[in-house]
Amino acid sequence: MTQQSPNYDAAALPGATVAAVLSTFMPKGPYGYISAIISITLLAILFAFEIRRQRTSAQTVAFACVVGLSAMLLYGFVAEFIISKGTLTGTQGAEPDTQVPMNYLMLSWPITVAMVCVWDRLVIQAQLVRAEPDA
């Protein structure tokens, strides 16, 4: 059985992901279990539909940016969990705002983008090498 090309618009998936992630940043409050679930779901969708696709360098950067943005919710949850020493009291309405410093969370985005870019280019390079016929 051969793999058919996908029947979706290549920009639709990252666009929908960005919209979903941005919509979760709108309400104020701590990062809780729902943030982690949303992040893991978005990352699973991204990797399930986009992992085997050949990308240009620009597409790799775009993919990495969306992965980084999606992962920020998970990083926020982990940081909130660590800061609250595992109690996550802020997630139950006791505190209206997150305890996670925004600059820590913002720093996670470029680090994630850089790591995903390097990883993605290495994966694509390995796929190209495997696809070359032996000389």
At residue 113, the pLDDT reads 95
Residue 5 lies in a domain: no
Q: Are residues 108 and 72 in contact, defined by beta-carbon separation less than 8 angstroms?
A: yes
Residue 6 placed within a domain: no
Give the tokens for residue 98. 């997150």
Say if 49 falls within a structural domain.
yes
Q: How many residues does the chain have?
A: 135
Per-residue pLDDT of the chain (135 residues; tens, 9 = 90+): 444 455 555 556 666 666 666 665 555 667 778 888 888 888 888 888 777 777 888 888 988 988 898 888 889 888 888 887 777 654 455 555 777 788 888 899 999 999 999 998 888 777 777 767 665
Evaluate whether residue 54 is within a structural domain.
Answer: yes
Residue identified by tokens 């802020």 is 90
CB atoms within 10 A of CB 79: 18
Distance CA 68, CA 108 (A): 8
In a domain? residue 60: yes
Structural domains in the chain (count): 1
User: What pLDDT does 91 receive?
Assistant: 47
How many Cβ atoms sit within 10 Å of the Cβ of residue 84? Answer: 16
Residue 106, pLDDT score: 87
- Position 2 scores a pLDDT of 46
Residue 38 lies in a domain: yes
Q: Is 87 exposed, middle or buried (0-12, 13-18, 19+ CB in 10 A)?
A: exposed
**Using one digit for the tens of pLDDT, what is the confidence trace for 120-133?**
888 877 777 776 76
Whether 4 maps to a domain, the answer reads no
The whole domain housing 127 covers 12-131
Q: How many CA atoms lie within 13 Å of 40's alpha carbon, on the beta-carbon side?
A: 8
pLDDT in the model for residue 117: 93
